[in-house]
């Protein structure tokens, strides 16, 4: 019985260590987010609000021209983010997934390659490409 408990603790610590390593790799990676700047006559905030409701994203922060939408809490999957900003008459989208290693956090762009948070990146890319298309932008690859 004691060996089961010890192995369970060991496995948990190894899992947390792996998560911390993934967060460090993401934090020091070269593709931490996707960023697109564009002009549009549409009310992109209204477009995004409808999109967010259909795709399970919630408005987490609103400051000036910046709106930050998030899906997920990080419990079973990495949280997915979309930041929409309006600065000097131009719109921008910033898309990423956050890897939380408890002590270290790192962000990964949706269109990047590799194994890091592949499933959440794919889910976020599919949902966010719907908004990109509605805004008249090329989808993320």
CATH of 2-134, one of 3.30.1120, 2.60.40, 3.40.50, 3.30.530: 3.30.530
Please name the residue ranges forming H helices in the chain: 2-27, 44-55, 118-134
Closest CA to 98 of 70, 78, 122, 118: 78
Nearest in space to 116 (alpha carbons), one of 102, 131, 130, 96: 96
The structure tokens listed for 37 are 């700047």
Where along the chain do its domains lie?
2-134
What is the pLDDT tens value at each position of the chain, 141 positions in all?
777 787 777 666 555 555 555 554 555 566 689 999 999 988 999 999 999 999 999 999 999 999 999 998 877 778 999 999 998 889 999 999 998 766 777 888 888 777 677 888 899 999 999 999 999 999 998
What predicted TM-score, i.e. pTM, was given to this entire model? 0.79
Residue written as tokens 């919630």? 58
């Amino acid at each position: 019985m004691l060996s089961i408990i010890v192995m369970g603790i060991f496995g948990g610590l190894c899992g947390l260590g792996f998560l911390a390593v993934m967060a460090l790799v993401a934090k020091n990676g070269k593709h931490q987010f996707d960023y697109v700047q564009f002009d549009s006559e549409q009310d992109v905030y209204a477009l995004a609000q409808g999109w967010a409701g259909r795709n399970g994203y919630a408005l987490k922060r609103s400051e000036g021209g910046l709106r930050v939408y998030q899906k997920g809490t990080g419990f079973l999957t990495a949280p997915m983010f979309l930041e929409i900003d309006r600065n000097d008459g131009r719109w921008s989208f910033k898309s990423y997934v956050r890897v939380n290693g408890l002590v270290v956090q790192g962000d990964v762009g949706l269109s990047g390659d590799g194994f890091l948070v592949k499933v959440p990146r794919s889910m976020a890319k599919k949902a966010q490409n719907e908004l990109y298309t509605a805004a008249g932008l090329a989808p993320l690859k």
